[in-house]
Each structure stands twice: as structure tokens, then as C-alpha cells.
């Protein structure tokens, strides 16, 4: 019974990772860059909800919507100011460092506005826990909403990419930017759209993360960001189902190793699993193998 | 009289060494005349640490061409093995320079061994995958050291991954590595002068490597792996060579770090991935593959937040903005075009053309 409740917690944490990892993987697939600032967008989203709810007394649903809009706008702005000018730059490291710069910027901005002390985030989700097997398993409302959210996002995203024109444009751009441009696809617009979706997802992830783990600091986003990045790589970066599976597996491993092995070593175990997977399958679980040509 | 011929690389190296030495002498003079604030004095050793790290990482990123985000991990290993050694022999070897030299050798050897072991599987991966795996290894090293307990008594060493009690030490035994509390009471052997000597040694090692046959082989792998392989260069050997040396040098920086503080802990802020990223910043802003650039940017970027201290809360924000603007200025294709168009050289030649007309 204990095991099952750990498993459910793991899936819940994994769902959050999966949502963040989706943002990572989409941006990577399309812009071929590691967006290090992604984790900090989560933090910004959470602060927006925090301010609206405890500061202005706005209802949870409205504040979540505003936070999504705010993060989307932030994502588009960051892309336009910091990343777009570097497209076509000689070194791919240049974009990586710029992303790190943006990450520092967002963290220090939050530090300046909100201060370094931890803010108590009150849960957005008001739902009674479900009690199963005579109280041996308790599933909190946060857990249910997180898992359901993740599934809905996953389905909507897959439909969007496979069925709509904008989604097909994304696939085309991630395949070959030059060819996509020749076919009349607005490459810059498509990349902006990708950043917008990724950042919107980050806002949702921030809401879910802070509802389950209610302490908010300017650095809240960075570790989940890295973990989600690991999840994206684990599942095969660039692949949407891969990010989902990677996130869930990572969450389960983390919770189970916290419960059964050592809470201090859980991060080490997560990273160890990643390394083993990458050594067996160098492009991740669902990653595409690209043949190297001479 | 025969004219002494100085080839380009030798000249280049001499400039680098000269620059470091002049800077060192300048700081020493300032120190003697008392023109350096105590804050700056406290920064001198960290600057040396960062310079060594930046050179080490540049060997990996710039010369070998593999992005590593795990150098803080190698620093961590160097720091802990060096401090561990110093702590153990503190009563036996009382002559500080000898003890510190040995500590540095031990730190470098341990970091190199780990670099070698980690390098074997990791260097099979490419690009961003390699980056994330090195990051993962760095985090693993930090996490494991945080739960590592080592004690010493008459029966020898005791190891545990749980707590102090499970070490089963004899009453007079002492705990050397105390889990998350790390190592306390490391002898304070680091100084700016030692740091300077280490920088020079690091520069000699790296610059000699780059301009040797092995170095050219390593750079050929960076430029085109397949072409290098086809002319009979042993890819694995040279990759491992560069990675191991790079890890070892990061270990040296770690030893310097450990002996600069009285208590050594493996925290996210000193040995986490953020540290690796900070070092990467020095390398990229100094110019990838340019050793002298790494040295200069390590100095400037370490001092920048301190120079901005007058702006108190805003300094890290400004640091971030400076970083973004610098990257855009240096790499954005459009800005590069503009720079070319309005560069002084271009303007001069244009005005000359007008005159000719």
C-alpha cells in the first residue's frame, strides 16, 4: 500500500516535470538551443499567481489565467530581444550563454522585487482528497489535478502539432529551417509561437509545482528546470512523447529513491539513471538517431 | 650577429606570460603600498582559482571542442582530496609549502583519475548530450560527498554513507569528512603568491600542450572528427587526454579553494552546476579557444560584481544585462555586419576613396 502511494506521488511529480520538459523539448526541437531560462519562467509565473492571490485577492482561476498570459508574453519578449538576434550566429554556445544571462536576469529581478525570503504559496487547487483502501492511500487534490492537467496538455499538444497548420509548420521548421522558409513558412513567427506555448506551459507547471511544494523563492525554478531538462534528454530531446515519458519516469525514480534509499542521494540516483540510459541509447529513449555524413 | 627568430606562437605565449606576471607585480606593489582594500584582498585568491578553472575548461571547450558543464565536480574532488590529505598529515608534515605541494599533487591526481573514468563513457556522446551528462556527473559528485563520512583512528580509515555513529570510531578517533558539514579546520595554506605560481604552471602545461603534436591532434578532432580519424588519429586517446588534463587542472583549482577557507562544504553555490556555468561564462566571453582571453575575462568578470558593489542590489542585475549585451554585440550576425560597416578601418578606407575621387 505504501508503495502505491509513493508511486502516485511519483507520477504527480513526474507530471510536473513532464509539463516543464515539454517546453524544453519543443524549444530545443525547433530552435536547437537549450533554453536555460525556462526554469525561471516557472518562477515568474508562480510569483504572478502569488501576488494576484494573496496581494490582490483575485480568484485562483483568474490568477492562473493571468499568469499564463504573462508568462507567454515574457517568453515571446525574451525570444525577440535575446535569442532572435543570435539566430544564425557562428557559435551555438553564444545562445546558451545568452540564455544563462536571461536566467540570471530573471532571478535577480525577482530577488530585487520580492526579496530573498521564502514566500508561502497557498495552494491554487481547492479539492478534497480521495481516500482509498480504508484510509491507507490518500490522494490529494493537487495530485489528481496535476496528473489530469498533464494528460490534457499532452493530448492537446499532440493534436495541435499533428492536425493544425501552425503545428505542421513547427514540425517543418524543426526538420529544416531553410527548406521551411522556401515553402513560405514564417520561421520567426513559428519559433515565437513555440516559445509562447513553452512559456505558457511553464506557468501551468509553476502553479502545479508550488501547489504541491508551497515555498517560493527566486531560485524555485532552477532545480526543477534542470530536472525537467534531464527528463527531456532522457526521453529523447525534441520528441514530445519522449518528454512525457521521461518526466514521469524521472518523477517516479526520484520519489521512490527518496522513500527507499536515501533522501539526500535521490538527485544522484536520478542523474545516474540518466547517464546509464544515455550510454545505452545515446539519443534518449525516443530520440531519433541522426546518421553522420562525411 | 644572428637575428633571433621568434615564431608566432612563442610570441603569443610570451605575451600571455608577460601579462600575468605584470598584473601580479602590479598587485604586489599595490598590496605593499596599501592601496588595496581588504575586500579586494579577499578576492585575490578566488581570482586565481577562477583563472585556473577557466584555463582548464577552455582546454576542454575550446581546444577539444566538447562542452562540459561538470567542471565544478572535478574542482570538488580536487578540493576534498586535497583538504583530506592536508587534514590527515597536518601533525606529521608541519612544513606548510611541502604539505601544500603534496596536497595539490594529490588533488590533481584524484581529479584526473575521475576525469579519466568519467571521460571513458561520457566522451562517446556528442554536443548537448555530453553537456547534460557532465552536468549530471558534477551533481552526483556533489551529492555523494554530501553524504560521505570518513573518520580516522588507530585502526585506520572508516567510511560510511549514513552518519557519524555508523563509522564506529574508537573514542580518540577523529572525523575528517563529516557529511554535509564537510571538512573543517583545513590549514590555510593558499595565498595569492601560490595562486600566481599555479597559474603560471597551468599556463605552461596548457600552452605547451596546445602547440605540441598532441595538441594539434586534439584540435584536429575538434575541427573535423571524421577527417581526423581517417588520417589515423586515435580519437578516444586524444579526447581522453585533453579531458583528463582539464579535469586535473580543475582539481588544482579546487585544492587552492579548499585551502583558502577554514571550512569546506559541497554546496550548490560553490560546487553545483552554477559554478560550472560561471566558469563557462569566463571561457565564452574571453573567447573560446583563446587562453589569454580566458585569463582576462576571469579577472574582469570576478571583479565586475565587486566593482558594482556601490549599486548594491542592482549589481547582479547589471551583471546579467552586461552578459546579454556582450553576447549580442559579439555574436549577433546583424550587429557583426553593422560593426564591419562602421568599423574604423572601413571608415578610413572610405574617406581615402573619397579623397581619391
Domain at A2-280, CATH class: mainly alpha
The residue-averaged pLDDT of A103-127 equals 85
- The vertex-B8 CA angle with B2 and B9, nearest 5°, equals 120
> CB of A11 within 8 A of CB of A222?
no
By Cβ distance, the residue of A90, A226, A278 closest to B125 is A278
Give the residue from chain A lying closest to B323, CA to CA.
A101
- Residue ranges per structural domain of chain B: 44-294
Interface touch B226/A294, C-beta < 8 Å: yes
Q: Average the pLDDT over each of A123-132, A245-254, B22-31, B243-252 and give the range with the smallest value.
A: A123-132
CB A75 within 8 A of CB A195: yes
Query: If you ran DSSP here, which 8-state letter would residue A217 be given?
Result: -
Contact B16/B291 with Cβ under 8 angstroms? yes
- Identify the pLDDT of residue A292: 54
For A38, A156, A230, B208, the CA distances from A42, given in Å and listed in that order, are 7, 20, 16, 46
Which residue, among A9, A202, A22, A181, has the nearest Cα to A103 in the 3D structure?
Answer: A202
Q: Complex ipTM above 0.90? A: no
N residues, chain B = 357
Helix then strand count (H, E) for chain A reads 11, 4
- B98 burial level (CB within 10 Å; 0-12, 13-18, 19+): exposed
A42/A24 Cα distance (integer angstroms):
12
Q: What is the DSSP string of A110-135?
A: HHHHH-SSPEEPPPS---PPEEETTT
Tell me how close the Cα of A118 comes to any Cα of chain B, in angstroms: 18
Give the pLDDT score at B199. Answer: 93
| CA-based nearest distance B222→chain A, Å | 13
pLDDT of residue B3: 60
Q: Is B72 on the interface with A (CB under 8 A)?
A: no
Q: How confident is the model at residue A289 (pLDDT cuts 50, 70, 90)?
A: low
Helix, strand, coil percentages, rounded to 5, for chain A: 75, 5, 25
Yes or no, beta carbons of A101 and B147 under 8 Å apart: no
- State the nearest Cα–Cα gap between A96 and chain B, in angstroms: 10
Question: How far is A263 from B40, CA to CA, in rounded Å?
Answer: 40
Calculate mean pLDDT across residues A105-122.
Answer: 87
Q: How far is CA A253 from CA A234, B38, B133, B215, in A?
A: 13, 48, 18, 42
Q: What is the 3-state secondary structure (H, E, C) of A3-48?
A: HHHHHHHHHHHHHHHHHHHHHHHHHHHHHCCCCCCHHHHHHHHHHH
CA dihedral B34, B37, B42, B45 (to 10 degrees): -50
Choice between A177 and B250, residue whose per-residue pLDDT is larger: B250
Average pLDDT, chain B: 85
What pLDDT digit, counting tens, does each position of A32-57 carry? 888 888 999 999 999 999 888 888 88
Q: Which of B61, B273, B327 sits opposite A101 (nearest CB)?
A: B327
Which of A146, A28, A63, A84 has its CA nearest to residue B132?
A28
Chain A, nearest residue to B144 by Cα: A265
Q: Give the separation between CA A115 and CA A105, rounded to whole angstroms.
A: 14
Kindly indicate the confidence band of residue A294, based on its pLDDT and cuts at 50, 70 and 90: low
Of A85, A109, A274, the CB nearest to B328: A85
Distance from CA of B315 to the nearest CA of A (A): 9
CB B233 within 8 A of CB B221: yes
pLDDT of residue B216: 92
Helix (H) or strand (E) holding A138: strand A137-139
B207: left (phi over 0), alpha (psi -120 to 50) or beta: alpha
pLDDT, chain A, mean: 87
| Bridging pattern class, strands B156-160 and B149-153 | antiparallel
Which of 226-255 (A) contact B at CB < 8 A?
226, 229-230, 233, 237
CB contact under 8 Å between A105 and B67, yes or no, is no
Cross-strand pairs, A11 = none
Residue B159's beta-bridge partner residues? B150
Which of B:119-148 have CB within 8 Å of A?
Answer: 121-122, 124-126, 128-129, 131-133, 135-137, 139-140, 143-144, 146-147
Q: Where are the domains of chain A?
A: 2-280
- pTM for the model stands at 0.84
The answer to whether A243 and A21 have CB atoms below 8 angstroms apart is yes
Cβ neighbour number for residue B147 with a 10 Å cutoff? 18
Closest to B58 measured CA to CA, from A172, A93, A216 = A93
Express each pLDDT in A54-74 by its tens digit: 888 888 889 999 999 999 999
Chain A from 99 to 158: CB within 8 A of any B CB: 100-102, 104-105, 108-109, 111-112
Do residues B111 and B78 make contact, with C-beta atoms less than 8 angstroms apart? Answer: yes
Q: Using a CB-CB distance cutoff of 8 angstroms, which residues of chain B are in contact with residue A230?
A: 132, 136
Q: Do A268 and B125 touch (CB under 8 A)?
A: no
- pLDDT category, A19, cuts 50, 70, 90? very high
- Please name the residue ranges forming H helices in chain B: 8-33, 38-58, 71-89, 96-122, 127-146, 192-210, 213-223, 225-230, 235-258, 268-271, 273-286, 291-307, 315-331, 333-341, 344-356
Which residue in A41, A31, A170 sits closest to A95, CA to CA? A31
- Judging contacts by C-beta atoms under 8 Å, the chain B residues touching residue A272 are 136, 140
| Whether A105 and B321 lie within 8 Å, measured CB to CB | yes
Residues of chain A found within 8 Å of residue B331, distances taken between Cβ atoms:
86, 89-91, 94
Going by pLDDT thresholds of 50, 70 and 90, the confidence category of residue A290 is: low
Contact across the interface for A86 and B316, Cβ inside 8 Å: no
A274 CB neighbours in chain B (<8 A) are: 132-133, 136
Instruction: Tell me which residue in A34, A90, A274 faces B331 most closely, judged by beta carbons.
Output: A90
Digitized pLDDT (tens) for each residue of chain B, 357 residues in all: 556 666 777 888 888 888 888 888 888 888 888 777 777 788 888 999 999 999 999 999 989 988 888 899 999 999 999 998 888 888 787 788 888 999 999 999 999 999 999 998 888 887 777 888 888 899 899 888 888 888 887 777 777 777 777 777 777 777 788 877 888 878 888 888 899 999 999 999 999 999 899 999 999 998 888 899 999 999 999 999 999 999 999 999 999 999 988 888 888 778 888 888 889 888 888 888 889 999 999 998 888 877 777 776 777 788 888 888 888 888 888 888 888 888 777 777 777 777 776
pLDDT of residue A34: 82
Question: Across the interface, do B328 and A230 touch by the CB < 8 Å criterion?
Answer: no
3-state class (DSSP) for residue B199:
helix
Please tell me the distance in Å from B58's CA to the nearest CA on chain A: 13
Q: What residues does A132 pair with on adjacent strands?
A: A137
Amino acid at each position: 500500500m505504501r508503495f502505491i502511494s509513493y508511486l502516485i506521488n511519483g507520477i504527480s511529480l513526474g507530471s510536473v516535470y513532464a509539463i516543464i520538459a515539454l517546453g524544453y523539448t519543443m524549444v530545443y526541437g525547433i530552435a536547437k538551443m537549450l533554453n536555460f531560462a525556462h526554469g525561471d519562467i516557472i518562477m515568474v509565473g508562480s510569483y504572478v499567481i502569488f501576488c494576484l492571490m494573496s496581494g490582490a485577492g483575485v480568484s485562483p482561476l483568474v490568477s492562473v489565467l493571468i499568469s499564463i498570459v504573462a508568462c507567454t508574453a515574457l517568453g515571446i519578449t525574451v525570444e525577440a530581444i535575446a535569442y532572435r538576434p543570435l539566430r544564425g550566429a557562428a557559435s551555438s554556445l553564444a545562445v546558451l550563454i545568452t540564455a544563462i544571462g536571461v536566467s540570471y536576469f530573471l532571478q535577480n529581478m525577482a530577488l530585487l522585487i520580492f526579496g530573498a525570503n521564502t514566500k508561502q504559496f497557498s495552494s491554487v487547487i481547492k479539492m478534497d482528497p480521495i481516500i482509498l483502501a480504508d484510509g491507507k492511500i490518500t490522494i490529494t487534490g493537487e495530485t489528481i489535478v496535476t496528473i489530469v492537467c498533464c494528460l490534457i496538455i499532452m493530448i492537446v499538444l499532440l493534436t495541435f502539432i499533428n492536425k493544425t497548420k501552425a503545428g505542421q509548420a513547427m514540425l517543418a521548421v524543426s526538420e529544416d529551417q531553410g527548406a521551411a522558409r522556401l515553402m513560405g513558412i514564417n520561421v520567426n513567427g513559428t519559433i515565437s509561437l513555440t516559445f509562447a506555448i513553452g512559456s505558457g506551459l511553464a506557468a501551468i507547471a509553476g502553479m502545479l509545482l508550488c501547489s504541491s511544494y508551497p515555498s517560493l523563492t527566486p531560485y524555485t525554478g532552477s532545480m526543477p528546470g534542470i530536472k525537467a531538462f534531464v527528463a527531456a534528454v532522457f526521453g529523447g530531446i525534441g520528441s514530445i512523447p519522449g518528454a512525457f515519458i521521461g518526466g514521469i519516469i524521472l518523477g517516479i525514480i526520484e520519489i521512490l529513491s527518496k522513500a527507499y534509499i536515501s533522501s539526500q542521494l535521490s538527485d544522484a540516483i536520478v542523474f545516474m539513471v540518466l547517464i546509464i540510459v544515455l550510454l545505452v541509447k545515446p539519443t534518449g529513449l525516443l530520440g531519433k538517431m541522426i546518421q553522420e555524413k562525411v | 650577429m644572428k637575428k633571433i627568430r621568434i615564431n608566432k606562437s612563442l610570441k603569443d605565449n610570451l605575451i600571455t606570460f608577460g601579462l600575468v606576471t605584470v598584473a601580479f607585480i602590479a598587485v604586489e606593489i599595490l598590496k605593499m603600498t596599501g592601496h588595496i582594500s581588504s575586500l579586494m584582498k579577499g578576492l585575490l585568491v578566488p581570482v586565481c582559482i577562477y583563472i585556473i578553472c577557466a584555463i582548464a575548461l577552455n582546454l576542454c571547450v575550446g581546444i577539444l571542442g566538447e562542452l562540459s558543464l561538470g567542471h565544478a565536480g572535478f574542482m570538488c574532488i580536487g578540493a576534498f582530496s586535497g583538504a583530506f590529505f592536508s587534514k590527515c598529515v597536518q601533525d606529521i608534515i608541519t612544513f606548510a609549502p611541502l604539505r601544500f605541494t603534496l596536497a595539490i599533487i594529490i588533488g590533481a591526481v584524484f581529479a584526473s583519475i575521475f576525469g579519466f573514468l568519467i571521460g571513458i563513457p561520457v566522451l562517446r556522446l556528442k554536443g548537448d548530450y555530453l553537456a547534460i551528462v557532465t552536468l549530471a556527473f558534477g551533481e552526483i559528485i556533489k551529492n555523494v560527498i554530501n553524504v560521505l563520512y570518513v573518520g580516522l583512528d588507530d585502526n585506520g580509515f572508516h567510511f560510511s554513507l549514513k552518519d557519524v555513529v555508523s563509522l564506529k570510531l574508537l573514542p580518540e578517533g577523529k572525523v575528517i569528512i563529516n557529511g554535509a558539514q564537510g571538512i573543517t579546520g583545513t590549514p590555510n595554506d593558499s595565498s595569492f603568491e601560490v595562486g600566481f605560481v599555479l597559474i603560471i604552471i597551468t599556463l605552461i602545461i596548457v600552452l605547451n600542450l596546445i602547440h605540441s603534436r598532441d595538441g594539434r591532434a586534439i584540435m584536429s578532432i575538434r575541427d573535423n572528427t571524421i577527417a581526423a580519424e581517417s588520417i589515423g588519429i586515435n580519437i578516444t586517446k586524444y579526447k581522453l587526454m585533453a579531458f583528463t588534463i582539464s579535469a586535473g587542472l580543475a582539481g588544482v583549482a579546487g585544492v587552492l579553494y579548499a585551502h583558502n577557507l577554514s571550512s569546506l562544504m559541497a554546496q550548490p553555490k560553490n560546487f553545483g552546476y552554477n559554478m560550472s556555468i560561471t566558469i563557462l561564462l569566463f571561457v565564452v566571453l574571453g573567447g573560446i579557444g583563446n587562453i589569454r582571453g580566458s585569463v582576462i575575462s576571469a579577472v574582469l568578470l570576478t571583479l565586475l560584481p565587486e566593482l558594482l558593489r556601490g549599486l548594491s542590489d542592482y549589481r547582479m542585475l547589471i551583471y546579467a544585462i552586461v552578459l546579454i549585451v556582450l553576447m549580442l554585440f559579439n555574436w549577433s550576425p546583424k550587429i557583426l555586419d553593422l560593426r564591419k560597416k562602421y568599423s574604423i578601418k572601413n571608415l578610413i578606407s572610405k574617406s581615402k576613396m573619397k579623397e581619391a575621387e
